[in-house]
Structure 1
Amino acid sequence: MRRRSCALALGAFAATLLVPGLAAAGPSTGKVILEMRLRSETVDQDGFGKDAHALTLRTRLGYETPAWNGFKALVEGENVAVLDDSYNSTVNGKVRYPVVTDPKETELNRAQVSWSGAQGDVVVGRQRIILGAARFVGNVGFRQNEQTFDAAKAAFRPTKDVTLTYAYVDRVHRIFGDHSAQGEWDGDSHLMQAEAKTGAGQASAYGYLLDFGNAPAQSSATWGARLAGSRPLHAGLALTYEIEAARQTDYANSPTDFELGYLALGAGLKSKTRWASLGYERLDGDGRRGFQTPLATLHAFQGWADVFLTTPPAGVRDLNLRAGATVPVGRNATPLKLQVAAHDFTDDDGSRRYGRELDLLVGAPLTKALSAEVKAALFDGARPGFADRTKVWMTLEYRY
């Protein structure tokens, strides 16, 4: 596994050195990638004598070549510098503090070669993969150390409204970093997705066959379908809706047998500057394990406090109400972004309450390249094992 994964990444890295020469005759000079994110995260959690404070700076620097006959190459490094380490990063041994999963790290984040044509594209190497709403496969973009994949991914568009995607994943580079025993998962995984624009909305069907040699408990087969769309009610206002269902079973080297379900429903209203939605999400549990989504961008779902990164054995049900608005403020009408969400969590049949959560966010661009954001998550636990916690983030982000 390791040799094949290294071959994918190193082959793509070598190609990034060759393609610029081939593309030199083209009109473009390529694209420099420079992103910096300074973030303060504080965590006050019951059961810990000390509050956590993490002050980290994430820097990404890279280059994407201009296109040559549809081919491009990209290489990108990532560094996470720790300016205040009063937190448990999961690898620094500071277990007196609550966890903030932003370890100190320097790594090759992406090294890929891509080809794009009229009816599809192919990407080979260490890459970012986000499928659908990232509920099952994503890059965990909120955390400082991004999740990337040593993979070969192809998308085929037989018509302008249909996209068929397949990815073979050899290794997952997770947010925990190279110094963690769980920082990399060696795999033999297959990701499949079909998407179509229909009269009822965006429809998709998927199959995710996950096989991890060094994390067998996370091996599973998930098959599902999703429909999301909107309908105008009158000028400037639309009804939004979504429905998704999936089934997950043991697969490959999984040490246990299981069959679990997933259901998500949502409806809301949306205008040009405001939106609100009522959502319901259920991940089943059989008493031994819950429906898991180990490659997902988990922070975006089931509350920002990240209480349910691992689904409890009895499953979890999330009834949530969300709302957001973009409000122009000041002389220059700077778009101020506001969001609020309320969650009520129980087990999958609703008989046991886990707790409630309130999430708040305020963000705004300061310049074309610089933005600021403040957000908070307040979780009120109702059972042992679901401790009360308050998390606050303050972020400055620069994108060149």
Structure 2
Amino acid sequence: MLIRKSLPWAISIGLFGAAAQTSFAAESFTEALSKGEAHVNLRLRYESVAEDVAAGGNKTGDALTLKTRVNFKTDRLKGFSGFLELDDVSNFAGGSNDSVNGNVADSLIADPVGTEVNQVYLAYKNWDSEFKYGRQRLTYDNHRFVGHVGWRQNEQTYDAFTIANSSIENLKLNYAHISNVNRIFGEASAVGDTEMDSHLLNASYALPAGTVTGYVYLLETDDNFAGFKRMDTDTYGIRWQGVAGDLAYNLEYATQESAGANPADYSSDYMLAEASYKLAPLTLGLGYEALGADKDGFFITPLATLFKFQGWTDMFLNKGLGNISDGINDTYFTVGGAALGMNWLLAYHSFESEQNNAAGDSDLGSEIGGMVTKSWGPYSAELRYASYSAGDSTGFNGGGLSLMDTEKVWLTLSANF
């Protein structure tokens, strides 16, 4: 517990040790408002799901939703600025389980309707640092441990105090204290918020050949909702993002142990090795990600943008934990390029459990996916498809995990003004 209490003080001492004056913009509060910037974002999406069910047959779901986002940022006044962002999600057609409407007979498309304050914070810039207090977007590295789940229409944001410092050349320090997680399920859901007393520290140093990052994420929930205490974990990790000519690669290792009131008592590891190579006109990718498990628990990433990992069909969310009791090893291949003014990508994932199930099997199935994107001016469009094949994974079904053949299609249109 000593490291949890001492982190804020250590960060503050380091940041205020290198003070440098900042140029200030607006001269008055009225001027800060008049020089502010307002933006509107519209994202219309059609999503379709078709999946087998364990009892036989299948179920489907589809939804046509629109996210309307309006935000305003003031100009800086004596280093201070404010930001306000409102989101509205509407559903125009289709039938699906949006996680709160009770349509459990339909497939899950977790985009509940509603209007929320997505972000509202006060920021201060000085001493080569930016301080933010309030509801804000928070992402670190590739979003594997801390992300905003921007794929879903209702974004995940954090009620937090954050510091970002760059006083030392090539070194970036980030600290966050999180008091609440505003999850994608919205205010109407019993699991829409997770109260926390969590400390995050992420430090990266840029070198000519790449960037090395070290991190400490100490998660502790203050919420008594069943299952949330599973999030109480201490995670320590290191990441290397390297570049060598046309080759880019990422190497990462982390270890995690249960903490606080976590009902599990375990220690487990995480590993990532991936690379991409530009072989004009294509870019080829290869990766391997392993989320470990032991007999008492398994490595989890409850604040991650999980859609970015383990394929696009979201088969291994496991109530937001991002892993299953036997662990997950994901080997994946990608190939992408550009044609006719559009970008395209094909992906293949092969999943295995780290530990065999009770039947002695480790097959968790596979997924193929593809997408095409195009941007023009303030507009963009994306067509995406993914198909998961369960293979011999039925022995893992249970405990809230259901691995069944699943197909998903998304068509997204966006506009930013």
TM-score by length of 1: 0.88
Match of 1:360 in 2: 370
Name the Cα RMSD after superposition: 1.9
Q: Shift of residue 119 of structure 1?
A: 1.5
The aligned length equals 370
Q: 1:138 aligns with which of 140, 144, 147?
A: 147
Q: 1:315 aligns with which of 327, 337, 361?
A: 327
Segment drifting more, 385-394 vs 280-289: 280-289
Q: Shift of residue 371 of structure 1?
A: 0.9
Query: Is the Cα–Cα contact under 8 Å of residues 212 and 241 in structure 2 kept in the other structure?
Result: yes
Q: Shift of residue 288 of structure 1?
A: 4.7
d(CA) in 1 for partners of 2:39, 2:27: 19
Match of 1:228 in 2: 241
Equivalent residues in 2 for 1:277-356 (5 A)?
Answer: 277-310=285-318, 311-327=323-339, 329=340, 335-349=341-355, 352-356=362-366
Segment drifting more, 112-121 vs 274-283: 112-121
Q: Shift of residue 158 of structure 1?
A: 2.6
Q: 1:76 aligns with which of 65, 82, 85?
A: 85
Partner-residue secondary structure (3-state), 1:252: coil
Over 3 Å counting, the alpha-carbon distance change for 1:26 and 1:149 in structure 2 is closer
1:44 aligns with 2:50: yes
Q: Shift of residue 21 of structure 1?
A: 8.9
Please tell me the residue identity of whatever aligns with 1:55.
L
d(CA) in 2 for partners of 1:389, 1:99: 12
1:182 aligns with 2:191: yes
Over 3 Å counting, the alpha-carbon distance change for 1:23 and 1:326 in structure 2 is farther
Deviations 1:172-229 (A, max 9, x none): 0000111111110000000101111023311100011111122111111111000012
Identify unmatched segments of 5+ residues in structure 2: 1-24, 398-402
TM-score by length of 2: 0.85
1:167 aligns with 2:180: no
d(CA) in 2 for partners of 1:273, 1:158: 40
d(CA) in 1 for partners of 2:383, 2:301: 27
d(CA) in 2 for partners of 1:276, 1:373: 21
Query: Is the Cα–Cα contact under 8 Å of residues 30 and 66 in structure 1 kept in the other structure?
Result: yes
Segment drifting more, 111-120 vs 179-188: 111-120
Query: Is the Cα–Cα contact under 8 Å of residues 49 and 97 in structure 1 kept in the other structure?
Result: no
Deviations 1:65-123 (A, max 9, x none): 11223321100111110112511111111111111111112111100111223622111
Deviations 1:111-138 (A, max 9, x none): 0111223622111100000011111001
Over 3 Å counting, the alpha-carbon distance change for 1:174 and 1:375 in structure 2 is same
Match of 1:392 in 2: 409
Over 3 Å counting, the alpha-carbon distance change for 1:161 and 1:103 in structure 2 is same
d(CA) in 2 for partners of 1:388, 1:276: 27
Please tell me the residue identity of whatever aligns with 1:321.
F
d(CA) in 2 for partners of 1:206, 1:273: 36
Identify unmatched segments of 5+ residues in structure 1: 1-18, 233-237, 330-334
Please tell me the residue identity of whatever aligns with 2:330.
D
Please tell me the residue identity of whatever aligns with 1:388.
D
Partner-residue secondary structure (3-state), 1:159: coil
Please tell me the residue identity of whatever aligns with 1:390.
E
Q: Percent identity?
A: 34
Partner-residue secondary structure (3-state), 1:50: strand
Query: Is the Cα–Cα contact under 8 Å of residues 23 and 66 in structure 1 kept in the other structure?
Result: no
Deviations 1:314-337 (A, max 9, x none): 00000000122133x2xxxxx301
Match of 1:247 in 2: 255
d(CA) in 2 for partners of 1:133, 1:245: 14
Segment drifting more, 372-381 vs 287-296: 287-296
Query: Is the Cα–Cα contact under 8 Å of residues 289 and 312 in structure 1 kept in the other structure?
Result: no
Match of 2:7 in 1: none
Query: Is the Cα–Cα contact under 8 Å of residues 265 and 296 in structure 2 kept in the other structure?
Result: no
d(CA) in 2 for partners of 1:168, 1:20: 29
